[in-house]
Amino acid sequence: MMAALSLVVPAFDESGRLPRTLASIAAALPRLAASKVELIVVDDGSADATAELAERFAATSPLPVRVVRLGRNRGKGAAVAAGVAVARHPLVAFTDADSPYDLGSLVPMLAAVASGRCDVAIGARDLPGSQVNRGYGALRYLSGQTFSLMTWLALGLPFRDSQCGLKAFRADAARRLFAMRTVDGFGFDFELLATAVANGLRVERFPVRLTHDDDSRVALVRDSLRMTRDLLQVRRNLKRGAYAFPALPADPTPCPLCGVAEFEPRVAHDGFRMVECSSCGVWYLNPMPTRAALAGLYGDAYYASDDAIDGGYADYAAMADDHRDTFRRRLALVARHVGEGRLLDVGAGYGYLADAAAATFRERWVVELSPAAARRVSPAHRVVVGDIESVELPRGYFDVVSLQDCFEHLPDPGAALARIHDVLRPGGALLAVTPNAHSWLARVQRERWVSLKFPEHVILYSRDTLRRVLESNGFAVESMTPAGQYARLDFLAERVAKGHPQLAQALTRAVRRWGGGERRIYVPSGSVAVVATARA
């Protein structure tokens, strides 16, 4: 007997034929020669009685059957992923709910995976041994063939048929593959295979036997458009190296805000993956880099780096006046909290916010992790080098604590906020400016959004999650407003063309030639400015 198998069956609005197909799948399972079998039916947010029928089947079936319900219709990729996530056995396979494949085809696939000959076994309808009914419409057949060719051309996959709905995996390989998934719909098949190939997994093809027409749930035109869009997205991700597995097979990190371990992948590049917490909605790096790895980022090179578009700042000092003007404008938000005139700026860089605050705050302290940056801070301010959670500071002392483009760097926001609460006087104010993952800029720029700086930006907030983390750590939110920054046009040109070096150069040159390089404008940056007071 072979190892135990978890068979995942995604189902969407299948109430018409589900009882019949589940019965036929259940009848076929004992013949698969697995030592134990569990059936996992995932209801993909069906509007009909699919979930109830699956649960009724589970209640009466002699086999272990589990039903997973997705709250809304997400697509086949998301449904299969939800099933893989709860699979208990060392072999995982999935098939379609309308059961077009003779499950006997799975026997050699499972044997190959169980023996270690391959990591992923895929059905291939183009293999000579496959029995495929071509009678289901010339147009559908032709579009399938065209799409196979496009997939091959766009992704360089060495398989003609990426979309066959019968696939088997070693469970750990399946979990790692699905962890990198960004496509919810039918395109998840080719994304999965592209990820497998990119990480050197062994993929083997097997003939399949169709019992009746497949692809019956694919709407020809609408789904073709969506799959073409997904194909381009996967191609971009592949080019960026987005599908590289994390170096160490780390356990998933639970949400740093609410502690829940369920999440959805959002963006991945350079071996880092940002996910959205399924419970509170905050975006965070998962797995979260270690503190040692993060501390190593902020050396001398951070503030004057050649690679400044992706990490650190191009020439931070050259933009000093822009920064001071930006900070002056942001400080106006806490004008009524000046009190005794004591300010603390955390993650201060070269101390430009303290410079801008000199007119209104008679005492300015700065905390900065990078010793190199701290040396550049004006002697007019008091400088403390280190981590906000561990440096020595007077308690109940400050009227205002500022976090400018800093909060998103902190892996444990609860601990940092507790410390900030501790050094503020009762009623003192926190002024934080941080990227807003729900801003229009984030939505428009998507994976090119400038704030997707990994691994420096470890958590990205929205107004909701920011309010949540502040209120659960002893703060009362007073205001939230979109934040902007002053910037020179040539700097903006560079940012706009992020990821296109030639375009960036051309734009920058053009802006300088027209004499616009020195001109500054105040632009929205996709960030949010929040003022919150420390509750007693």
Give the shortest CB-465-to-Zn ion separation in angstroms: 8
41: contact with Zn ion by CB under 5 A: no
Give the shortest CB-408-to-Zn ion separation in angstroms: 15
277: contact with Zn ion by CB under 5 A: yes
Give the shortest CB-86-to-Zn ion separation in angstroms: 19
Pick the stretch among 165-173, 183-191, 273-281, 299-307 that binds Zn ion (CB under 5 A): 273-281
Pick the stretch among 35-43, 164-172, 266-274, 275-283 that binds Zn ion (CB under 5 A): 275-283
Pick the stretch among 26-34, 276-284, 342-350, 448-456 that binds Zn ion (CB under 5 A): 276-284
Contact yes or no for 458/409 (Cβ under 8 A): yes
Residues 222-261 that bind Zn ion (CB under 5 A): 255, 257-258
Spatial strand order in the sheet of 424-435: 382-385, 363-368, 342-346, 398-404, 424-435, 520-534, 475-488
When the beta carbons of 257 and 274 are compared against Zn ion, the nearer one is 257
How buried is residue 339: exposed, middle or buried, by Cβ count under 10 Å (0-12/13-18/19+)?
Answer: middle
Among the listed residues 4, 111, 280, 503, the single contact to Zn ion using CB under 5 A? 280
Spatial strand order in the sheet of 65-69: 65-69, 37-43, 5-11, 91-94, 167-170, 120-123, 203-206
466: contact with Zn ion by CB under 5 A: no
Pick the stretch among 20-28, 278-286, 321-329, 481-489 that binds Zn ion (CB under 5 A): 278-286
Query: Who's near 146: CB < 8 A, 6+ residues apart?
Result: none
Crossing angle of helices 489-496 and 501-513, in 10° steps, is: 160
279: contact with Zn ion by CB under 5 A: yes
460: contact with Zn ion by CB under 5 A: no
Give the shortest CB-280-to-Zn ion separation in angstroms: 3
Give the shortest CB-258-to-Zn ion separation in angstroms: 3
**Cα–Cα dist 433/404, whole Å:** 5
CA-nearest of 390, 407, 443, 440 to 532 is 407
When the beta carbons of 197 and 257 are compared against Zn ion, the nearer one is 257
When the beta carbons of 76 and 273 are compared against Zn ion, the nearer one is 273
**Cα–Cα dist 4/81, whole Å:** 19
When the beta carbons of 22 and 82 are compared against Zn ion, the nearer one is 82
When the beta carbons of 242 and 437 are compared against Zn ion, the nearer one is 437
Structure-token match 């097997």, residue found: 206
Give the shortest CB-273-to-Zn ion separation in angstroms: 16
Give the shortest CB-112-to-Zn ion separation in angstroms: 39
Structure tokens at 355: 């410079």
Per-residue buried b or exposed e for 474-511, using 16+ beta carbons within 10 Å of the residue's own CB: bbebbebeebbbbbbbbbbbbbebbeeeeebeebbeeb
Sites of contact with Zn ion (CB under 5 A)? 255, 257-258, 277, 279-280
